Amino acid sequence: MRKIIIYVLIAFLGACATPGTPEKPTEETLHKHDSGTFTQHLADSKYRVTEKGVFGVEMEIPAKRLMVGVNTINLILHDNRDRDMQGANVSVTPWMPEMGHGVFSPLKVTEKGNGLYAVENIVLVMGGHWEFRVNVKWGEEEDNVVFDFPYVRTAEGYDYIKAKTPAGFDAVLGMKNTLEELQPEIVKENGKTIKVFTLTVRDIGFELFPDAPMMGWGFNGTIPGPTLRMTEGDRVRIILKNDSSGKHTIHVHGQRKPVFMDGVPYIGQKPVRKGESYTYEFTAQKLGTSFYHCHVDSAHHMDMGMYGAFIVEPKEEKYAYDREYIMILDEWPTKHIHVHEKDDEEAGHEKHGVVSVHKGTQPEHAHPGGRTEKRDYYPKTHNPHNPVYDAFTINGRAFPLTEPVYVKTGEKIRLRFINAGYQSHFMHTHSHKFRVITRDGAYVDEPQLIDTVHVGAAQRVDVIIEADNPGIWPFHCHRLNHVANDHIYPGGMLTWIVYEDYKVGEGKKSDQY
C-alpha cells in the first residue's frame, strides 16, 4: 500500500512540475496534433520547434489559408516532455520583413484548453510575405518561433475585369479602383454656408501591383486621398487630423488663400503631430482641376501617397460631357536604396560606403547611425530622398490593378490628368483624338485634336475625348518604360478605353476607313 502511495505522489509531482532542463523536442515527439497542410504556404509551415528547443508549436489555420483581411489561427503548444501546455502566456506578432511593419489592429489570444490557443482578429493589410512571430512564456521558461508565409493574397485572388478580345484571347483589362469622393458636411455660421471636409491621415498598407506590397500614408485610409469637389465661390473648411506615425500639413495647390491656410510648415503653421489637428479655411476662387498634398518633407511624404484631387467646378460649365474620369499620375519606388556610412553587419551592411537595396518603403525608414543633417537656413531639414522609381501608377495602382475607362458610342468623356509625381508623363490613346480644354485649371483655346499630351510635375490637363470608334483601346504613358512593373512589360501606367456597347465578333476585319 505504501508503494502505491509513493507512486501516486511521484506521478502527481511530475504532472505539476514546471519545465526543467530542456530536452530538445523532435518532429516525431511533437506530432500528436498534426493539423494537416495548408494551401499557398510552405509545406512545413504547420510545425516548429522554438529557437532554444524549449517548446514545440503547431499551427492550424481553420480557413486552410491566410488571406488579406481578417484571419484566425490556432496554436497547439507542447513542452519538452510532449505535454500540452496549460496557462502559457502567448503573444503573436504578424510582420512583413521586407516592409518593416506589421498589423495595425490589436489581435486577441484566448486559451481554449488542452494546449490549444486561438488567435483571432489578425488583420493582414496587404498581400505579400508575412511572418508570424510567436513568443511563449511558461513558468520560468521563455522561447520564440517564427512561422513563414511567403505568399499571401486576397481571399479569392484578384477580381480582375476580363474580356474576350477581337483576336480571340481572354484578356485582363484591370480591376475596379474608383476614386472615392468625400461628401462635405454643410454648416451655417454667421449667415454663411461652409462646406466642411475632414481628412484623417493614417498608416496604411496596399499593393501597387500584384505581389508588390507598399506602406503609405493615406488621407481617410485611401491612396490617393478622397476627391474634394465644390463650386467656384464656395467657402471651404478642411480639418486635418493626424493618426499616423509622421507629421503632416495640407497644401491645396493653386488656390488663393491666407498664408496661415497654405500648409507650408514653419511659415504659416507647425506640422501636425499624431493626435493633433489643424483647420484650414478659405474661399474657393480658382476654378478647375487641382490637388491637395502634404507639404512636410514634401518629396518623401508625397511619395508615400499623400495627395488627392481638388476640383472647383464653375457655376456654368463651358463644355458639355457625359462622363468624367480623374487620373492621378505618380511613380513609386518598390525598393529603398541606402548608402551606408558605417559597417553594420547586424543590419546587413557589411562594407563601409556600400549601396544596398531593401524591398519596400516605410514612413520612417532609418538605419543605425543615420542622422538628419541640420541646416541653419530653415527650422527643420530632412534626410535625402532620392529613390529609384520602378512602379508607375494611375490613381495609386499599376496595371493590372488600374480601372478601365468605360464609354458608350457617341459619348463625350472628360479626363482630368493630375501629375502628383516628379517625372513627366505623356498620356496617349490609340485610334482616338482628344482636345485639351484646360491647363492648370484655366480654360485654354487649343482647337487642334491630338492623341498624346504632356503632363509635367504638378501640372493638370483636362481633355475631352469623343467616343467614336467602338472597341477596346489602350490608354497609357508613352514613356514606355513607365508601362512596366519592376521593369517587366506590360504594367505600370496602362489602362483601357472599353466601349460598353461593343461586342466581339461584330463587324469585319476590313479597313473601314
Query: What is the rounded distance in angstroms from the CA atom of residue 498 to the CA atom of residue 168?
Result: 16
Identify the three-state secondary structure at position 273.
Answer: coil
Task: Give the end of a domain, one of 264, 289, 318.
Answer: 318
pLDDT for position 402: 98
- pLDDT of 8 > 70? The answer is no
Which CATH number characterizes residue 23's domain?
2.60.40.3340
Task: Identify the helix (H) or strand (E) that includes residue 173.
Answer: strand 170-174
- What is the pLDDT, as a whole number, of residue 236? 98
Contact 108, 121 (CB under 8 A): yes
pLDDT score of 28: 45
Identity of the amino acid at 510: S
Q: In terms of domains, do 51 and 108 share one?
A: yes
Whether 276 contacts 200, CB under 8 Å: no
Residue with cell 488656390: 255
Band (356; pLDDT cuts 50, 70, 90): low
Domain-ending residue, one of 152, 174, 207: 152
Cα–Cα distances (Å) from 63 to 40, 72, 74, 164, 256, in that order, read 12, 8, 11, 33, 54
pLDDT of residue 425: 98
Q: Which residues pair with 161 in a beta bridge?
A: 174
Counting Cβ atoms within 10 Å, is residue 484 exposed (0-12), middle (13-18) or buried (19+)?
Answer: buried
C-alpha cell at position 78: 507542447
All three cell numbers of 405, joined, read 475607362
Cβ pair 265, 271 in contact under 8 A: yes
482: closest CA among 393, 369, 403, 401?
A: 393
Task: Say what the alpha-carbon torsion angle 93, 97, 99, 102 is, to the nearest 10 degrees.
Answer: 0
Q: Are residues 196 and 110 in the same domain?
A: no
**What would the pLDDT profile of 423-473 be if each residue is shown by its tens digit?**
999 999 999 999 999 999 999 999 999 999 999 999 999 999 999 999 999
Q: Are residues 199 and 74 in the same domain?
A: no
Poorest-pLDDT segment among 15-19, 72-76, 131-135, 235-239: 15-19
Q: What is the CATH number of the domain that holds 235?
A: 2.60.40.420
Is residue 125 in a domain?
Answer: yes
Q: Is the pLDDT of residue 13 over 90?
A: no
Q: What is the pLDDT of residue 346?
A: 53
Give the confidence band of 7 by pLDDT, cuts at 50, 70, 90. Answer: very low
User: Is the bond preceding residue 400 a cis peptide, omega within 30 degrees?
Assistant: yes
Specify the pairing of strand 425-429 against strand 452-455: antiparallel
Distance of CA 217 to the CA centre of its chain: 8
Calculate mean pLDDT across residues 483-498: 95
DSSP class per residue in 98-139:
TTTEE-SS--EEEEEETTEEEEEEEEE-SSEEEEEEEEEEET
**Which pLDDT score is estimated for 47?**
81
Asked whether residue 269 falls in the same domain as residue 134, the answer is no
Position 471 in a domain: no
DSSP lists the bridge partners of residue 15 as none
Domains in the chain, number: 2
Q: pLDDT tens, 363-384?
A: 444 444 445 566 788 888 887 7
Q: Are residues 293 and 210 in the same domain?
A: yes
SS3 of residue 64 by DSSP: coil
Statement: residue 491 has pLDDT above 90: yes
Answer yes or no: is 231 within a domain.
yes
Q: How far apart, in Å, are the Cα atoms of 304 and each of 155, 202, 324? A: 26, 11, 26
Residue written as cell 517625372? 423
Task: Characterize 429-458 residue by residue with b for buried, 16 or more Cβ atoms within 10 angstroms of its Cβ, and e for exposed.
Answer: beebebbbbbbbbeeeeeeeeeeebebeeb
Residue 14, in any domain of the structure: yes
Tell the residue number behind the cell numbers 549601396, with chain if given: 355
Contacts of 14 by beta carbon, 8 Å cutoff, 6+ apart = none
Mean pLDDT confidence for 297-305: 93
Q: Is the same domain home to 97 and 193?
A: no
- My answer on whether 124 and 217 are in the same domain is no
**Domain range for residue 262?**
185-318
Confidence (pLDDT) at 504:
75
Q: In this structure, are 39 and 101 located in the same domain?
A: yes
In this structure, are 86 and 194 located in the same domain? no
Cα–Cα dist 387/378, whole Å: 23
Beta-sheet strand order (sheet of 412-419): 391-394, 323-332, 412-419, 460-466, 434-439, 442-443
On the question of pLDDT at 60 being above 60, the answer is: yes
Q: Quote the DSSP letter at residue 483.
A: S
The pLDDT assigned to 38 comes to: 42
Which single residue is written with the C-alpha cell 520612417? 364
Within 10 angstroms of residue 400's Cβ, the number of other Cβ atoms is 21
Three cell numbers written together for 7:
507512486
306 falls within a domain: yes
- 44 in the same domain as 92: yes
* Average pLDDT across the chain, whole number: 85
